[in-house]
Structure 1
Amino acid sequence: MNPAIPDILTSLDFVLIEFTLEFQEPFDLDEARMLRLRRDLRSAALLTLGEDESFSALFDPPLAEDPVALKRYQRPGPSFVLRPDPRRCGYYDSGDCLQMTVLFWGRGIQFIRHFAQTMQTLGKSGLNRGEGCYDLLQVDARELSGNAICLWSGGGWPERFAPPVASVAWWLDSLAVLDSRAVLEFVTPARLLSAGRPLFRPTFANLFPFILRRVSSMVHAHCGGADIVPDPRVLQEIAQGVEVLSNDLLWRDWRTLESEKGAQEIGGVSGRLELCGAGLAEIGWLLRLGSLLHLGKGAAYGAGCYRLDS
């Protein structure tokens, strides 16, 4: 295993689940609709689950009880992450199918069935504000090799799913080490706020603290209170030494928010960073985990998704 990967990651797991939806009416899936499932999905979950443990574990994980952890970690996000594919945007006719991939992290794995039932309920009201009604046809677990294992294809729900889990450490060790060069590219816009103000053209030095906070808080909240980075200052110092060869990150508006005060454009950062430097080998594992968990506001619902190439 890459010596830079912390040993604690050998005990952390995630699962990729693919939901197959068959539209019952024409639906135009654009980027704005793809990234705005939060309200409708939560409403469907409340109808399906009520406000029980499964709802809280998936959508509203509690704050840390330890005052030190409460101060150190940001408010934990949901234990799932929607993995959007902009290439799947477009017009869908009645009878067309859409595959939606969702990552379940740590403790969230045991609540996959509850999420699947929520997806079935959501189909009756539609993906976005009453539009895009669908039937849930199938639920598959997607192995890292690409193989799909069917967990459900209609009928009654099993008591619980037993999907093949992926060890975070094994996944990291299967990827190329980011030893001297990396390209970080946002697949969906990332809305990053600092002191309440958007970062319109962040540098890598601006981005790294967001990655560090997102990963460490998701590990602590959903993986048994694990402390993945005992001293964040060490990694921050390493990140400061990473050189940026090119930066074409730009702010892009992707939706309009209507309110009593008028229309407001909502956007996020898109584009790519080209990085180099020996420090990449030491912080590469953290950048990789950030690519699983996304960044910024709405990260669990598909925003702030980025990919890394070496």
Structure 2
Amino acid sequence: MDLNLVTLQLTLPSETLAKLTQLVGSALRFEAALRALVCNPDDRECTGCPQNGSCPFVLLCGRILSSDPELVRLYQRPGVPFVLGPLQQTESGQLELSLVLLGPAIHQVALFVRAVEQSLDAVSLYQVSVCDYQNQQRILPDLSSRSLADIPVLSAATLLDLATPRFASCQQIQITITSPLRMLHQGRELNRFEPGLFVKAVLRRISSLTAYYGTSADPDLFRRYAQSAERFRLLSQSVQQQGRRGVSGHFVLEGPCNELGPLLSLGGLLHIGKGAAYGNGAFTVSPMP
């Protein structure tokens, strides 16, 4: 299993807060900005367009089903190969917006930055930074080049290897959900945190995105992981939001942390649940001492 990623941090002026709040959480708004940048005949529907097969917008936002019937059976329609948000405000009042690009999207760094600016009526960003394996940020001075020579491209497999020692001897983890997690179960939206369902949703999100945009993992291995997810139990919680519009807060779990902790940590880059690609369902995972 592997997947290439580029993780960006966009810094914006505080006066863009209202527009950014509208942008994050709105697939239509951001995808319309992407489409406007790459599509000349913007009055034409994508279906039937002669450029459909090579159009960057279709590649990034088309959610195209695989030609492999087994992959479609396992995962159905793919998610988009990027994760926008969540939005945070610094102590100085500036705004920070994270942007994770996956698979084919890593070659479109400049396009995604321009789409954010266009969504904000061409407000210039203060800076664009890219993160390395140590989560150190490097400022990108020039986005005009399409070359990835100066942009750290991360490997999901390497991220898992680096995270493994942190969870080697841990029996408990803390899940911190920082933006509303909206999960469906049996056709209904959950209004509380369910450990087993949460872990299974993270595993499914990772396996689906790697299958469509990277190299897929052994399905039998992920089935075993899903069985292990049933062993997690909730020890304590500090709920900040709970209800039909999402769940957030701190949740301490006990279970097979050494086995699944690294995967859950990777899942924090991808978010889960409804609106995951647009800022919802952001979370971090920390081993408990």
Partner of 2:72: 70
Q: 1:159 to 1:110 in 2, by over 3 A?
A: closer
Letter in 1 for 2:222: P
Q: 5+ residue gaps in structure 1?
A: 1-7, 125-132, 254-265
Describe how 1:169-180 pairs up with structure 2 within 5 A. Answer: 169-175=157-163, 176-177=166-167, 179-180=170-171
Contact 2:10-2:127 within 8 A present in 1 as well: yes
Selected match of 1:232 from 208, 222, 236: 222
Structure 1 distance, partners of 2:138, 2:285, is 27
Cα deviation for residue 82 of structure 1 reads 1.9
Partner of 2:8: 17
Count of matched residue pairs: 270
Structure 2 distance, partners of 1:105, 1:138, is 21
- Per the alignment, in what secondary structure is the counterpart of residue 84 of structure 1? strand
Partner of 1:307: 284
- Per the alignment, in what secondary structure is the counterpart of residue 139 of structure 1? strand
- Per the alignment, in what secondary structure is the counterpart of residue 134 of structure 1? coil
Q: 5+ residue gaps in structure 2?
A: 40-45, 47-53
- Per the alignment, in what secondary structure is the counterpart of residue 167 of structure 2? coil
Selected match of 1:188 from 160, 179, 183: 179
Selected match of 2:134 from 145, 168, 171: 145
- Per the alignment, in what secondary structure is the counterpart of residue 60 of structure 2? helix
Q: Does 1:136 align with 2:125?
A: yes
Describe how 1:1-310 pairs up with structure 2 within 5 A. Answer: 8-9=1-2, 12-22=3-13, 26-29=15-18, 33=22, 35-50=24-39, 53-88=55-90, 97-124=94-121, 134-153=123-142, 157-162=144-149, 163-175=151-163, 176-177=166-167, 179-224=170-215, 226-248=216-238, 252=242, 267-277=245-255, 279-310=256-287
Cα deviation for residue 181 of structure 1 reads 1.0
Letter in 1 for 2:250: R
Cα deviation for residue 185 of structure 1 reads 1.5
Percent of paired sites with the same residue = 27
Contact 2:130-2:140 within 8 A present in 1 as well: yes
Let me know the Cα RMSD of the aligned residues: 2.8
Contact 2:179-2:281 within 8 A present in 1 as well: yes
Cα deviation for residue 47 of structure 1 reads 0.8
Letter in 1 for 2:33: A
TM-score after normalising by structure 1: 0.76
Cα deviation for residue 142 of structure 1 reads 2.2
Q: 1:174 to 1:231 in 2, by over 3 A?
A: closer
Contact 1:141-1:151 within 8 A present in 2 as well: yes
Structure with the largest fraction of strand:
1
Structure 2 distance, partners of 1:116, 1:191, is 27
Q: 1:71 to 1:143 in 2, by over 3 A?
A: same
Structure 1 distance, partners of 2:232, 2:277, is 28
- Per the alignment, in what secondary structure is the counterpart of residue 236 of structure 2? strand
Q: 1:61 to 1:228 in 2, by over 3 A?
A: farther
Structure 1 distance, partners of 2:277, 2:270, is 7
Q: 1:209 to 1:88 in 2, by over 3 A?
A: same
Contact 2:82-2:102 within 8 A present in 1 as well: yes
